[in-house]
């Protein structure tokens, strides 16, 4: 018989989705106290309303609930500090499921020692956000090819140009995807449906159906030389820090459309601005930045060839449902003694 496990819901979640978790196995105990959780301001607002405050008694109950569980749905208070506290206080903790696809940064920010991080597992919601991120990436490609920034500027100025400027066809163009993981492959799928030819990078080079060329990062400059659009989906690690630097931007075809839905640290933002100003990059659609929130004095805000998105491209009204479905699948695997997918690498933190 499956040993009884306690699952604590650490972040806001709809009651019907909590019931879905309960239905995974009759042996589990799911602890859900909504009065201890901040209300959501919008769908999948995992941190909840920042104005929410627990009473002293509620705070004690919240941490007692978390410290009684072997499994947590979400980081406590959706923060690195919350993860650190529960890891130190809960000796029976076995598994924490993060809401984010890229939870490695938060795990690193918790400051937990390597030894402590080996005592329990942390999984991410990687893959849940692949479709919205891929749709956003393709929107960025279309914006670049169809001159949406210039059209919007003309509209604001009420300008009807005497000479109509043609746009570029997406069909038949070349896309390079840096990072052919779940997000990259979903981007490639949609791009191919529009008639694009797709190549990309993967740490372990191997053929992928529908992808023309697969290379590692060393082969990226050659891909960029023939790409009309480039999408970055890579996580932020020591190996990807400012990967897109002056040399890589110089390797691109003039007028390339560049989209970043990975991590902001992968891009040297000064080099990107130079590439936009000298025409190597014709348009940039950015959802992530090296510093977030993007500082008010950042030149990225006002650049006419940049779309700034406040790290929201992964959000969708279906997110809570999709994460819960992923967690339920993982929970079944966990109870059956299987290997959990999408584990956070506690060495490289991705």
Among 22, 168, 311, 321, the one annotated catalytic: 311
Query: 17 and 45, same structural domain?
Result: yes
pLDDT (tens digit per residue) in 125-180:
988 999 999 999 999 999 999 999 999 999 999 999 999 899 999 999 999 999 99
Query: 69 and 185, same structural domain?
Result: no
pLDDT (tens digit per residue) in 208-250:
999 999 999 999 999 999 999 999 999 998 899 999 999 999 9
Interior angle at CA 137, CA 128 and CA 320, nearest 5: 25
Residue 216 within any structural domain of the chain: yes
Residue 346 within any structural domain of the chain: no
What's the pLDDT at 3? 62
Query: 34 and 55, same structural domain?
Result: yes
Pairing of strands 95-97, 71-73: parallel
Among 89, 292, 332, 348, the one annotated catalytic: 292
Residue 210 within any structural domain of the chain: yes
Looking at residue 244, which CATH number applies to its domain? 3.40.50.720
Query: 178 and 81, same structural domain?
Result: no
Query: 277 and 147, same structural domain?
Result: yes
Residue 77 within any structural domain of the chain: yes
pLDDT band at residue 101 under the 50/70/90 scheme: confident
For residues 80 and 106, the answer to whether their CB atoms sit within 8 Å is yes
pLDDT (tens digit per residue) in 262-321:
999 999 999 999 999 999 999 999 999 999 999 999 999 999 999 999 999 998 999 999
H helical segments located in the chain:
15-22, 56-67, 80-89, 104-109, 114-117, 130-145, 148-157, 182-193, 220-224, 246-251, 269-278, 319-335
Helix axes 56-67, 80-89, angle to 10 degrees: 60
Residue 345 within any structural domain of the chain: no
Residue 40 within any structural domain of the chain: yes
Query: 189 and 165, same structural domain?
Result: yes
In angstroms, rounded to a whole number, what is the distance separating the alpha carbons of residues 17 and 323? 10
Query: 302 and 230, same structural domain?
Result: yes
Chain mean pLDDT for the chain: 96
Query: 229 and 280, same structural domain?
Result: yes
The residue among 137, 168, 159, 161 whose CA lies nearest residue 259 is 137
**Residues spanned by the domain of 223:** 130-308
pLDDT band at residue 77 under the 50/70/90 scheme: very high
Query: 110 and 197, same structural domain?
Result: no
Query: 273 and 295, same structural domain?
Result: yes
274 is an active site residue: no
- pTM for the predicted model, two decimal places: 0.83
Q: Find how far residue 274's CA is from the centre of its chain.
A: 26
> Token pair for residue 313?
């491209």
Residue 344 within any structural domain of the chain: no
The residue among 243, 298, 245, 313 whose CA lies nearest residue 275 is 245
Q: Residue 69: which residues within 8 A CB-CB, separation 6 or more? A: 6, 7, 8, 31, 90, 92, 93
Query: 304 and 218, same structural domain?
Result: yes
What's the pLDDT at 1? 45
In angstroms, rounded to a whole number, what is the distance separating the alpha carbons of residues 122 and 22? 20
Q: Find how far residue 214's CA is from the centre of its chain.
A: 22
292 is an active site residue: yes
**Number of separate domains in the chain:** 2
What's the pLDDT at 160? 96
241 is an active site residue: no
Query: 50 and 145, same structural domain?
Result: no
Among 97, 129, 263, 326, the one annotated catalytic: 263
In angstroms, rounded to a whole number, what is the distance separating the alpha carbons of residues 70 and 157? 59
Residue 277 within any structural domain of the chain: yes
Q: Is the peptide bond before 164 cis (omega within 30 degrees of 0)?
A: no
What's the pLDDT at 250? 98
What's the pLDDT at 350? 80
């Amino acid at each position: 018989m499956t040993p009884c496990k306690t699952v604590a819901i650490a972040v806001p979640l709809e009651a019907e989705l909590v019931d879905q978790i309960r239905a995974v196995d009759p042996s589990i105990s799911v602890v859900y106290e909504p009065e201890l959780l901040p209300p959501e301001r919008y769908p999948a607002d995992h941190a909840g309303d920042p104005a929410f405050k627990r009473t002293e008694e509620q705070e004690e109950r919240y941490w007692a609930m978390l410290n009684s569980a072997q499994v947590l749905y979400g980081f406590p208070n959706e923060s690195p500090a919350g993860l650190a506290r529960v890891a130190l206080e809960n000796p029976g903790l076995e598994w924490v499921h993060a809401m984010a696809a890229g939870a490695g940064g938060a795990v690193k920010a918790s400051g937990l020692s390597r030894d402590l991080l080996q005592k329990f597992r942390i999984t991410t919601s990687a893959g849940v956000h692949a479709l919205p991120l891929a749709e956003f990436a393709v929107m960025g490609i279309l914006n670049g090819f169809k001159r949406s920034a210039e059209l919007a500027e003309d509209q604001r100025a009420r300008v009807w140009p005497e000479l109509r400027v043609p746009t570029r066809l997406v069909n038949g163009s070349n896309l390079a995807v840096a990072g052919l993981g779940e997000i990259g492959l979903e981007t490639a799928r949609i791009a191919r449906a529009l008639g694009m030819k797709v190549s990309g990078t993967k740490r372990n080079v191997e053929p992928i159906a529908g992808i023309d060329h697969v290379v590692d990062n060393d082969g990226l400059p050659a891909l960029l030389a023939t790409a009309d659009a480039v999408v970055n989906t890579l996580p932020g690690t020591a190996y990807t820090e400012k990967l897109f630097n002056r040399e890589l931007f110089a390797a691109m075809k003039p007028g390339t459309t560049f989209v970043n839905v990975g991590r902001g640290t992968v891009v040297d933002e000064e080099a990107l601005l130079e590439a936009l100003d000298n025409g190597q990059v014709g348009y940039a659609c950015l959802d992530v930045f090296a510093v977030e929130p993007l500082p008010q004095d950042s030149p990225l805000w006002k650049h006419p060839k940049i779309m700034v998105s406040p790290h929201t491209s992964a959000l969708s009204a279906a997110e809570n449902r999709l994460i819960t479905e992923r967690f339920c699948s993982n929970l079944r695997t966990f109870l059956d003694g299987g290997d959990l997918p999408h584990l956070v690498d506690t060495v490289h933190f991705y």
